[in-house]
Amino acid sequence: MDNALCRMNGCDFPLFAFSHCRDVVVAVSKAGGFGVFGAAAYTPEQFEEELAWIDAHIDGAPYGVDVLVPETVDARVTSFTSNAERAAAISAEHKAFTADLLGRYGVHIPEDQQTRIREGAGITPENGQKLMEVAFRHPIRMIANALGIAPPEMIAEGKKRGIPVAALVGAKEHALRQAAAGVDIIVAQGGEAGGHCGEVSTLVLVPEVVRALKGAGQDIPVLAAGGIMTGGQMAAMMAAGAQGAWCGSVWLCTPEAETSPAFRQKMVDARSRDTVRSKARTGKPARQLKTAWHEAWDDPAGPGTLPMPLMGMVSEPSFAHIEKAVVNGNEQARDLVSYFVGQGVGLVEAERSCRQVVQDFREEFAEAVMGLNAMLED
Amino acid sequence: MDNALCRMNGCDFPLFAFSHCRDVVVAVSKAGGFGVFGAAAYTPEQFEEELAWIDAHIDGAPYGVDVLVPETVDARVTSFTSNAERAAAISAEHKAFTADLLGRYGVHIPEDQQTRIREGAGITPENGQKLMEVAFRHPIRMIANALGIAPPEMIAEGKKRGIPVAALVGAKEHALRQAAAGVDIIVAQGGEAGGHCGEVSTLVLVPEVVRALKGAGQDIPVLAAGGIMTGGQMAAMMAAGAQGAWCGSVWLCTPEAETSPAFRQKMVDARSRDTVRSKARTGKPARQLKTAWHEAWDDPAGPGTLPMPLMGMVSEPSFAHIEKAVVNGNEQARDLVSYFVGQGVGLVEAERSCRQVVQDFREEFAEAVMGLNAMLED
């Protein structure tokens, strides 16, 4: 296939794979798609190691990175400069609430592990900046940003090095702001997407963003994101004006992914209605598999969710302990197993390799186009 | 164009127009689409008159009807058998709340008009049944039902007369139940749709329903609904497995529609984020243009929404008075003007005739297919 986006990023088939797992990135890029490595969970040192591994294994295939440089920071956390300070701001009530909630499922978490204090990691503007600097030392073919306007340094450095800068948006107005700031690719992500997302659906958002950019004289390719699990849906969004698809959830049910067998089983079993857009994992609205964790944190009668990055400092060790409990035979803990995933989870039927997913997308894409042509010709 | 759905319903282009306005139904069917007349607001006598008018003006073009026969009725209203009884169940608190809310926008509603008591109208199982009987006395080419499984009498009568029965669904499981009950067409309506809707997006729901029906050995055409305002989106959903598009919102900004000039102006101005899925108009979750009315009724601190059909008995006279106030020069009342509309409202740029909308869909559809082909050929 060939379009402006393929030429810009050097890929053969404009299927983008967002993943926190280097194996997925490498497998997808080698299969003709375009792997995008999500840096958010890493320290700059770990990120450097991961990218070095990718460079050594990807056989020169193109890949990109996604860093999170939040544009706005909750007023409750702006004064903190270290994760130790941030952890100290988490109230005893929130900690007791967490321990009680996990305890009801037989998951016990030692008090000293209840809050994750890992200096140099976490979604903060300073950390995002450092991750960006690491990324530019590698042969990336794209750098993406989410949670606000891409920082000026990212755009300047991208232009200097000829590396396209992509930005994730959930609303037309944000796409226009990003384009005005100088980004090269817009990822229009609908509200059905896993992870941080807005409320407008992919089917509405994609043509809305494409039309708005055209109206503003911005000739920028748009990637469709949110709910896309098949080549038929990818063809659909390209019929609606996108130049490619950006997928996250579909890679989570592959053997290459970082996900646990327990979560992958839940993906296979889940219906599309089993996700929720909730602040209960990162502190900002993100779609994920719905569990009692989300019900409890989103309950107005409870202590309420914490701002980013505090919420993640509580939720990540909790979910790690939930996974450990399942491995250790606690069947009850399976109920709490969760991860970021979109409504498209209802379309997952089995675990497949990344290469197989890319191959299936290609075939389904071709079938969808043939089907449309057949209807017009009859 | 030609596919199973076009053959089944006798239309040339599988663009379905759901409308409560006979003029829209006639204009769309005459332009080669398929008008579907929504009966819910009418008494059986009025419905008879409307259908007779359609028969006299549609020049033999095919059209259908949509009746609402709710499968379940809220336990709070099951004991009532007349609208007078239902009206008596609306609390003084709810009435005062309404009057106060409207009053803040300078809209005054006489106490005796605050609740609409129109015997023989309203969304109830008995009324739905009567409307259905009226429909079958006319040369309809399809009868659709929403809010639950189509009643057995509708399916039996449809089969006897060779009239396809369609059912609106918002979840895969509901599609399978409808198919098992014997319906001929499934309308898979995503959560971005105007009016009663579920939570799964159109882009996910359509392929999910198509795949589930195929898996169950049910060879039933699927119409995509929710968010579709352009031929590009229609092509998109047909690439994803639908045989046509069912649209409601796009017809509301036409001169033929029942909507007021004030509402049409709000449609042109609205962003896709300006809608809300709320119980504040009918008592069941329905997407509509968001206003202070919805914020107040959905506020947990308020008296809360009423069950169907009580909520409509309060909301409809209120919205009628809001519209009247605008006509009489109350600019403040414009803020409260609202109607059922989907997220696709963000794609509405101007008022167009129904014929023009159908023509634009055809052209955009062809362009979308050509664009896809060009990418594959390069």
User: Is some CB atom of chain B closer than 8 A to the CB atom of A208?
Assistant: yes
The pLDDT, as a whole number, for residue A125 is 76
The pLDDT, as a whole number, for residue B127 is 82
Does residue B305 contact residue B311 with C-beta atoms inside 8 Å?
Answer: yes
Judge whether residue A378 has pLDDT over 70: no
Interval A158-186 mean pLDDT: 96
**Interchain proximity A272–B207, CB inside 8 Å:** no
Q: How far apart are CA B251 and CA B255, in angstroms?
A: 9
DSSP B50-107: HHHHHHHHSTT--EEEEEE--S---TTTTT--SHHHHHHTS-HHHHHHHHHHHHTTT-
List Cα–Cα distances, B41 to A55, A260, B20, B37, in angstroms.
Answer: 64, 52, 8, 11
Distance (Å) from the C-alpha of residue B58 to the closest C-alpha of chain A?
Answer: 26
Using an 8 Å CB-CB cutoff, list chain B residues near A347. 204, 207-208, 211
Candidates B3, B233, B373; nearest CB to A240 = B233
- Single out the residue of B34, B39, B29 nearest to residue B15, CA to CA: B34
**Interchain proximity B240–A241, CB inside 8 Å:** no
The pLDDT, as a whole number, for residue A232 is 98
| Structure token digits, residue B291 | 């206003």
Query: For tokens 């073919």, what's the residue?
Result: A141
Candidates B203, B207, B273; nearest CB to A192 = B203
Candidates A199, A271, A378; nearest CB to B2 = A378
Dihedral sign for Cα B179, B181, B186, B187, please: negative
The pLDDT, as a whole number, for residue A103 is 97
Residue of A1, A201, A361 best to disrupt the B interface, most CBs of B under 10 A: A201
Q: What domains, with CATH codes, occur in chain B?
A: 4-377 (3.20.20.70)
Q: How far apart are CA B241 and CA B263, in angstroms?
A: 34
| Structure token digits, residue B67 | 């009746």
| Structure token digits, residue B125 | 């199982």
DSSP alpha helices (H): ranges in chain B? 4-9, 22-30, 44-57, 83-88, 92-103, 125-135, 152-161, 172-181, 202-215, 231-239, 261-269, 292-298, 310-327, 354-377
Task: State the helix-helix crossing angle for A202-215 and A172-181, rounded to 10 degrees.
Answer: 40
Interval A169-197 mean pLDDT: 96
Using an 8 Å CB-CB cutoff, list chain A residues near B231. none
Q: How far apart are CA A324 and CA A315, in angstroms?
A: 14
Using an 8 Å CB-CB cutoff, list chain A residues near B2. 375, 378
Give B 316-335 residues with CB within 8 A of chain A. none
User: Is some CB atom of chain B closer than 8 A to the CB atom of A226?
Assistant: yes
**Interchain proximity B239–A192, CB inside 8 Å:** no
Judge whether residue A121 has pLDDT over 80: no
User: Is some CB atom of chain A closer than 8 A to the CB atom of B227?
Assistant: yes
- Residue B233's CB is within 10 A of a number of other CB atoms, namely 33
Give B 231-250 residues with CB within 8 A of chain A. 232-233, 235-241
**Interchain proximity A373–B369, CB inside 8 Å:** yes
Query: Could you list the mean pLDDT of each consecutive 10-residue stretch along chain B, which spans 378 residues?
Result: 88 96 98 95 93 98 91 77 86 94 95 79 78 96 90 94 96 96 97 95 98 96 98 97 97 97 98 97 96 96 92 95 97 97 98 98 95 81
- Residue B12's CB is within 10 A of a number of other CB atoms, namely 17
Question: For the complex shown, is ipTM > 0.85?
Answer: yes
Does residue B119 contact residue B83 with C-beta atoms inside 8 Å?
Answer: yes
Q: Which residue has the higher pLDDT, B142 or A129?
A: B142
The pLDDT, as a whole number, for residue B79 is 81
Candidates A3, A227, A237; nearest CB to B204 = A227
The pLDDT, as a whole number, for residue A127 is 82
Rounded to 10 degrees, the C-alpha dihedral A184/A189/A194/A198 comes to: 120
| Structure token digits, residue B279 | 């119980």
- Single out the residue of A354, A364, A340, A231 nearest to residue A281, CA to CA: A340
List Cα–Cα distances, B163 to A316, B156, B178, B224, B362, in angstroms.
Answer: 56, 10, 16, 20, 26
Give A 283-302 residues with CB within 8 A of chain B. 300
High-pLDDT (> 90) share of chain A, %: 81
Q: Long-range contacts: A173-181, Cβ < 8 Å, 24+?
A: A173/B271, A175/A209, A175/A212, A175/A213, A175/A222, A176/A212, A176/A213, A176/A216, A176/A218, A177/A149, A178/A149, A178/A150, A179/A213, A179/A216, A179/A218, A179/A220, A180/A216, A181/A149, A181/A150, A181/A152, A181/A155
Judge whether residue A339 has pLDDT over 70: yes
The enclosing H or E element of A260 equals none
First to last CA, chain A: 26
